[in-house]
Amino acid sequence: MLDPAFVMLCLVILAALLFDYINGFHDTANAIATCVSTRAISVRGAIIMAAVLNFAGAMISTKVAGTIGKGIVDSSNVTQMVVLAAVIGAIVWDLITWYYGLPSSSSHAIIGGIMGAVFAHAGVSGLKWGGLKNIILALLLSPILGTIISFIFMIIIYRVFGNKSPSVLNKNFRRLQVVSAAFMAFSHGTADAQKSMGVITLALVSYGTLKTFAVPWEVMVGCATAMALGTAAGGWRIIKTVGRDFVKLQPVHGFCVETASAAVILGASAFGMPTSTTHVITSSILGVGLSKRLNAVNWNVAKRILVAWILTIPAAALVAYLAYQVMSPLLGK
């Protein structure tokens, strides 16, 4: 007869890989929305490129995974049920926002899910408030940096190439934008696949397979593959919101957005800080829009995006809390 604890571990791993897959198609827009909207590359070509580079980026580091797995909770307060409920909370919220075409943060969703599940299991004392404070601070500062850097970058480009006609400028930057989109896809892999790596490794520590928190290479490959497959499935609903409805973009704008966003994300990943690629690239688009004029931004879309941002952590936490309360009597803690 199968060990119930082992069955639960398998459920956790499957749920985490499903979250990575959903994260892939949910956040595909982060890497390719701008280059698709400016017609620098076809949707099919952009998605294939993003899938390959998401995989490559996911394989280069595990610093963010360590922050997710060790910075939010003490492993002594984590059970398989806690991890499963946390992932369910993140998955449900990701699917809701994907259905409505809202670019919410999968990073915020998994952090909220972990918070809600741990609170249900161990109460407030089960959370590492010092680590959470640093993580949330990074998540808040990164979109501000994205807005500022893209705004300044766009102004510099205007000054340097101001004597060029718009058609010539955009023709040249359309080629460069494919490079910047590839840079963005790679940075997305370094940041987002590692969240599931952290969750699965946390589950393996809880089960006893691992004595200390260290991401196995098999987990790295599994999570990178799941995200790449999800990216290949695409996410047109969110691509449309980010790349077309929010701010009307030309290739020069897309190049600026993707380069600024990738720089912020890779910089944060180097320090092991989990950023929201959704927030960074959306705020970078805002910075580019503001460099043109205030009414270049669709403020109604901006309000919808902001609401999704504000709701994500508490909503995912609530779903995870409820999932834990429902499953515990059925499956045990």
17-67 pLDDT, tens digit each: 988 888 777 666 566 766 776 677 777 777 788 778 878 888 887 777 777
pLDDT for res 322: 94
Report which listed range, 143-157, 203-217, 267-281, is most confident: 143-157
pLDDT for res 317: 93
pLDDT for res 278: 74
The answer to whether 300 touches 58, Cβ cutoff 8 Å, is: no
pLDDT for res 103: 63
* Dihedrals phi, psi of 61, to nearest 5 degrees: -160, 160
Tens digits of residue pLDDT in 250-265: 788 888 888 888 888 8
Q: Is residue 168 part of a domain?
A: yes
pLDDT for res 144: 86
Assess whether pLDDT exceeds 70 at residue 234. Answer: no
Report which listed range, 120-134, 143-157, 221-235, 291-305, is most confident: 143-157
* Higher pLDDT, residue 207 or 299: 207
Going by pLDDT thresholds of 50, 70 and 90, the confidence category of residue 14 is very high
Q: Is residue 124 part of a domain?
A: yes
Chain-centroid distance of CA 62 in Å reads 15
pLDDT for res 168: 76
Going by pLDDT thresholds of 50, 70 and 90, the confidence category of residue 332 is low
Question: Residue 42 is part of which domain span?
Answer: 4-328
Q: Is residue 274 part of a domain?
A: yes
Going by pLDDT thresholds of 50, 70 and 90, the confidence category of residue 85 is very high
Q: Is residue 333 part of a domain?
A: no
Q: Is residue 62 part of a domain?
A: yes
Assess whether pLDDT exceeds 90 at residue 245. Answer: no
pLDDT for res 172: 79
The CA distance from 248 to 222, in Å, is 37
Q: Is residue 132 part of a domain?
A: yes
Q: Give the rounded percent of residues in the chain with a pLDDT score beyond 70.
A: 86
Q: Which two tokens stand for residue 231?
A: 């990216």
* Domain tally, the chain: 1
127 beta partners: 73
Q: Is residue 270 part of a domain?
A: yes
Q: Is residue 316 part of a domain?
A: yes
Read off the pLDDT of each residue in 229-256 and give the average, rounded to a whole number: 66
- For the chain, the average pLDDT equals 80
pLDDT for res 316: 92
